[in-house]
Amino acid sequence: MHSLPARHLFVYGTLRRGCANAEATWLAEVALWIGTAQVAGRLYHVAGYPGLVPDARGLMVRGDLFRLPHGPAGETILARLDAYEECAADCPAPHEYARIILPVQTQDGTVDAWTYVYRHSTAGLDLVVGGDFLRDALPPPR
């Protein structure tokens, strides 16, 4: 296996800390949470989960930044998450997401981080105004 070009992972939806699903719990156990961070882009509400489209025009998407372990352990984490995001090589194409490296802003500066970006059309999808899926995508209280 080759070394990872980025040792960080930025997540903005169902993999964030505090989400009540097995993959988010597992990620919090196997990777080091660095803190909250943000990336330039637009966040859409897809179908109970979000899709990030990178966009350098000023909108920001909030999420969590993790540091991945060195070597095969980090690659194993990414392989499992690729399967979760259905963008692994053995998943049926066309893939809804792609894992790419984006610049992520933290309180301490900018780092390059693996990020799952949405690849399908956003026509008809609602924008998550405010850019924070956990805070802004919830329906308003009645």
| CB atoms near residue 45 (< 10 Å) | 17
pLDDT tens per residue, range 71-130? 899 999 999 999 999 999 999 999 999 999 999 999 999 999 999 999 999 999 999 989
CA nearest to 52, candidates 85, 94, 80, 21 = 85
**Residue 17: what residue type?**
R
Q: Please indicate, yes or no, if residue 67 is contained in any of the structural domains.
A: yes
Could you say which DSSP state residue 140 is in? P
This model's pTM is above 0.75: yes
Q: Please indicate, yes or no, if residue 3 is contained in any of the structural domains.
A: no
Q: CA–CA separation, 89 vs 76, rounded Å?
A: 14
Q: Please indicate, yes or no, if residue 2 is contained in any of the structural domains.
A: no
Quote the domain boundaries for residue 132: 8-136
Q: Please indicate, yes or no, if residue 111 is contained in any of the structural domains.
A: yes
Angle between helix axes 22-30 and 71-84 (nearest 10 degrees) is 170
Could you tell me which residues come within 8 angstroms of residue 104 by beta carbon, excluding any fewer than 6 positions away? 8, 10, 37, 38, 39, 65, 110, 111, 112, 113, 115
The domain tally of the chain equals 1
Instruction: State the CATH number of the domain containing residue 74.
Output: 3.10.490.10
Q: Please indicate, yes or no, if residue 62 is contained in any of the structural domains.
A: yes
pLDDT tens per residue, range 16-65? 998 888 999 999 999 999 999 999 999 999 988 999 999 988 789 999 99
